[in-house]
Amino acid sequence: MTEMVYGSMPARVTEPVLPRWWRTIDKWSLTAVVVLFGIGMLLALAASVPLATRNGLDPYYYVQRQAFFGSLALVAMIGTSMLPPEMVRRLGILGFAFSFVALILLPVFGTDFGKGAVRWFSFGFASVQPSEFLKPGFIILSAWLMAAAQEVGGPPGRLISFLIAVVVVFFLAIQPDFGQSMLVVFGWCVVYFVAGASMVVILSIVGAIGAVGFGLYGVSEHLARRIDGFLAADVDPRSQLGYATNAIQEGGFFGVGVGEGQVKWTLPDAHTDFIIAVAAEEYGLILVLCILALYGTVVVRSMFRLMKERDPFVRLAGAGLACIFGVQAMINMGVAVRLLPAKGMTLPFVSYGGSSVIAAGLTVGMLLALTRSRPQGTLEDILFRRGR
C-alpha cells in the first residue's frame, strides 16, 4: 500500500545491477513488447512460409531470420534499458550521427530492391535501412537540444533541432520515403510541444507541411501514385491494398482459422507491411485488438511514468520515443484498413525485418531506460540548481 501511494522506493547505489534494473523497470511495458515479439513469430510462421516457397528457399527461412534478428533486438532492448539517462543521450546522439552519414550515402551506395525507393544498403547476407536507426537518435538529439535551451544562457535548441529536422526530411524525401519523413516531423513536433510550444506554432508547422506535400504531389510520381490509389473510389482487388482489405473482411471477429488464410499466398508483403492482414484473416478481430492493446500499454504507461519525471531531457526524449513507437504502429495498421495512403512502414516487433526489429528494440530500450523509477530529488533542489 505504501508503494502504491508514494511510489517505488529509490534504488540504492550499492544494490546489484540486475536486481535494481528489475525493480525499477516498467514490467508491464517490458512484458507487452515480449508478447508482441511472440505474436510476430506466430504470424511469421503463417505469412513467410509461402513467400519462402515461392522464392525456392527453405520453408522456414524467414522465420529463422526473424527469430535471429528478434533475439538480437531483445538483447539490445534489455541492454539499453539498463543505461542511465546520460548514457542514453550519448548513445542516441552517436547513433544519429552514424545513421545520418549513412542516409547521405544512400543515393550513391544504396539499393531499392526493385521497390522504387533507395532505402537500403545491401550486404548480400543482410540489408540495413538507416532511417530506422535515425529516428530514435533524432528524438534523443532534439530532446537534448531543447532541454539545453531551457537552461540560463543555453543554446537556441529549438531552432537548431528544427534545421536538423529539415535537412533529415530532405534526404528522406529524395529516396523517396515520405512515410519516415512524416514520422520524423511528427516526433520533432511532439518534443517541441512537450518543451512548451503553443498549439498555434504546431498548427502552423502542420499547415506548412501540408503545403509542401501538395507541391510534392505535382512533381513526385511515387507520391502521386500512392495518393491517387488511396483516394480512388474503388480498390483494385489485385493490388496489395485490395488483397489486404479482403483478408480483413474475411477474418471477421474470430478469423478463418490457423493456417486457413489465403492472403499470404497472394500478397507479396504479407510478412512485412501487411502482416496485420494475416493476423486479421486467420485470428480475427480478437488478435488485432490484443495487438492494439499491447502497443497502447507501452505508450500510455510510459507517458504516465514520464509525468512524474522532473528532468527535462528525460521528459522530452521519453515522450518523443513513446509517440513515434505508437504512431508507427498506427500508420502500419491504418494503411492496411485504408485509413491512410500506403507508406511502406513495418509494424514494430511484429513485421519481418532485421533493421526494423533491431531499431525498435533500441527505441524501446531507450524508452524503458528513461522511464525507470529513480530518485527525483526535491523541487527546491532543482530550483536552486537552475538558479546557480
**What's the chain's length in residues?**
388
pLDDT in tens, 260-304: 777 777 777 777 888 888 889 989 999 999 999 999 999 999 999
pLDDT in tens, 337-361: 878 877 778 899 999 888 899 999 9
pLDDT at 213 over 90: no
Alpha carbon distance 268, 382 (integer Å): 55
Alpha carbon distance 265, 281 (integer Å): 12
Residue scoring higher pLDDT (7 or 83)? 83
What DSSP line would sit under 41-104, residue for residue?
HHHHHHHHHHHHHHTTS-TTHHHHHHHHHHHHHHHHHHHHHTS-HHHHHHHHHHHHHHHHHHHH
pLDDT in tens, 180-202: 888 999 999 999 999 988 778 77
- The single-letter DSSP state of residue 111 is B
pLDDT at 71 over 80: yes
Residue scoring higher pLDDT (51 or 191)? 191
The percent of residues in the chain predicted with pLDDT above 70, rounded, is: 87
Q: What is the model's pLDDT at position 242? A: 75
CB neighbour class for 366 (10 Å; exposed up to 12, middle 13-18, buried from 19) = buried
Q: What is the model's pLDDT at position 96? A: 96
- 223 pLDDT tier (thresholds 50, 70, 90): low
pLDDT at 5 over 50: no
Please give the mean pLDDT across all residues of the chain: 84
pLDDT at 2 over 70: no
Q: What is the model's pLDDT at position 380? A: 43
Q: What is the model's pLDDT at position 46? A: 82
Give the three-state DSSP class for 324.
helix
- The single-letter DSSP state of residue 142 is H
One-letter amino acid at 211 equals A
Alpha carbon distance 366, 369 (integer Å): 5
Q: What is the average pLDDT across 243-249?
A: 81
pLDDT in tens, 121-173: 888 777 889 999 999 999 999 999 999 998 888 889 999 999 999 999 999 98
Q: What is the average pLDDT across 79-98?
A: 96
Is the pTM higher than 0.75?
yes
274: Cβ contacts below 8 Å, ≥ 6 apart: 240, 243, 244, 263, 267, 335, 336
Q: Which of 62, 223, 91, 97 is nearest to 167 (CA)?
A: 97
pLDDT in tens, 115-133: 767 888 888 777 889 999 9
Alpha carbon distance 351, 373 (integer Å): 31
pLDDT at 107 over 80: yes
